[in-house]
Structure 1
């Protein structure tokens, strides 16, 4: 649950036709793997206060790092197929440059609103921005990308301290209904409370969010969105990892998903470029691969506009001419083939 904001983009694979669920475990590999491309989200705090002048677009054309080149590298060299990345027309045009750069890789591209279900510390639909305002935002985004089957809509990054999970489920339902009014088949990521914790999801958010449906009553393309870090306090702020999260989070969640015939994606996880994180993150990803009937994939946090010299969880590759070299954690755990 790293503090970044407003919107994000990620790199991942096919999603419109989801596999039929049954009692068997997966086939040994999740469908989607990728890395978040951060930068446009910089400037927002976890209470929803935002300074948009702090955004640092990961695009050379806008004065930032070569996010487009990073995405091409992750897709071409690392076998990734999913990448994770408001509405003023000028700003939207700038953000769309990143979206188009992501789509040009052939990957599936996740767009997520990255302000923790709140604005100025007031929660959407519960004293803050109204459901109608949030629906309007998503209607505009979904309309813009309705023809792009490789766009994935991530409704909200890491809601937390939401007092009424049932009201939040109503907010999510309103957004799903609005998106489906213009974008019929793209995947939609459904976030819970508690920083969308994979550990808390089966008992705290999941039961309420099970009622969120498509207008036709189905749940096709509605995927639960979960996060989990591996450091001592699950904050994603330490370079050392202490757990693989299997027994405490991903195994119980897998059982719950099977029982309810649903699927999830771990859209944010990561650690330092250290031996402990290589050990535990690789174990966590191996478990997701072994349970690919209910886990669609994982997306690491984060590449993009972070400074790899100072950011603890950097997954920014280094560039030498036309070649890229991954960070040690990406190379060991997140990449799907050797670069």
Structure 2
């Protein structure tokens, strides 16, 4: 007999693009964190200072992101990592050009380290729907230029079934949501030309807000489809922080977002036979964030027919002592110690 999750996926036509279904009594399918660093230097205007990129790989002079991921999988039961990177970094500032052999090669080392853990790995272009201040398809890069970089990435990783294509991080202040949906469609069409089954994450406006999705971006994104007319593997991408202004910049949390965001979103997803993945959430390593994030995650786990999982922000190249929302584990000898928030709320098993 089909589980609730499998039945929901069957209605959405997405079973073939996802791993074996998890019974809703055991929670969401995916649990993980971001492994940041290749996105450093990319601002909310879509400008990218390539010299600030900090590869989270000890082999490239950075922190041991590979070791972090191995620990998270082995000790915490995580099974998905989001790997943010600047668009300009991948192309070495050549809009419309080929993936830069050096820079894209360095990023690929992180991707391969992720895949080696057995986890799912989200390729996330972290440019806020922009290139140097100009919005994709609305005065900035053309949809063809955007589709081109995704065609190249999809071609590179088409054989890797555990690659997830995260089309764009946190579009914001996009004036025409229907034109943005056209840009997303161009990327989906380009990806599906070479990668038929992997999940693709569809980002909305308003910083990919889970709260705004049902009424603002969602109706437009529902029109995005695969070339065959199906919606297989097309997952709604959402973010939600828990601090006073929803910016993810404060160490204290004030809400679990259930009544204002995730409950209405769950209703909308069920009504439209779709699913979502929360690819950014988190807070400070404080008692208030433990309280509210654990509550938010509990709700997602209890509604895993429509929520595939959650990905914390952030580990990787951040400083575990100075970054407000650090999920970076610390290492002593061969032992890793998680941040208090990861230990309390995000980890699926005790480390």
Q: TM-score range by the shorter chain?
A: over 0.9
Equivalent pairs, count: 322
In structure 2, the partner of 1:198 is: 210
Give me the whole-angstrom Cα distance separating, in 2, the residues matched to 1:252 and 1:58: 36
| Deviation, structure 1 residue 121 | 1.1
8 Å Cα contact 1:27-1:293 kept in structure 2: no
Give me the whole-angstrom Cα distance separating, in 1, the residues matched to 2:306 and 2:16: 13
Residue among 161, 168, 176 paired with 1:164: 176
- State the SS of the aligned residue for 1:182: coil
| Deviation, structure 1 residue 321 | 1.0
| Deviation, structure 1 residue 120 | 1.5
8 Å Cα contact 2:315-2:328 kept in structure 1: yes
Q: Deviations over 1:241-261 (max 9, x none)?
A: 000000000000000000000
8 Å Cα contact 1:113-1:155 kept in structure 2: yes
Structure 2 CA distance for partners of 1:225 and 1:187, relative to 1, 3 Å: same
In structure 1, the partner of 2:345 is: 333
Give me the whole-angstrom Cα distance separating, in 2, the residues matched to 1:284 and 1:66: 29
In structure 1, the partner of 2:40 is: 42
| Deviation, structure 1 residue 192 | 0.2
Q: Deviations over 1:105-156 (max 9, x none)?
A: 0000001100100011110000001111101100000000000000000000
| Deviation, structure 1 residue 27 | 2.9
Q: Deviations over 1:161-202 (max 9, x none)?
A: 000000000111111011000000000000000000000000
- State the SS of the aligned residue for 2:25: coil
Residue among 147, 154, 164 paired with 1:135: 147
Unaligned runs of 5+ in 1: 1-13
Give me the whole-angstrom Cα distance separating, in 1, the residues matched to 2:148 and 2:263: 37
Q: Deviations over 1:222-267 (max 9, x none)?
A: 0000000000000000000000000000000000000000000000
| Deviation, structure 1 residue 31 | 0.2
In structure 1, the partner of 2:17 is: 16
| Deviation, structure 1 residue 309 | 1.2
8 Å Cα contact 2:170-2:206 kept in structure 1: yes
- State the SS of the aligned residue for 2:193: helix
Q: Deviations over 1:4-44 (max 9, x none)?
A: xxxxxxxxxx9823689xxxx93340000001000000001
The question of 1:274 aligning with 2:292 is answered no
Query: Aligned runs of 1:1-339 on 2, under 5 Å?
Result: 16-17=17-18, 26-85=24-83, 86=90, 87-339=99-351
Unaligned runs of 5+ in 2: 1-14, 84-89, 91-98
In structure 1, the partner of 2:10 is: none
Give me the whole-angstrom Cα distance separating, in 2, the residues matched to 1:78 and 1:94: 27
TM-score, normalisation: structure 2: 0.90
Give me the whole-angstrom Cα distance separating, in 1, the residues matched to 2:217 and 2:20: 24
Structure (1 or 2) with the greater helix fraction: 2
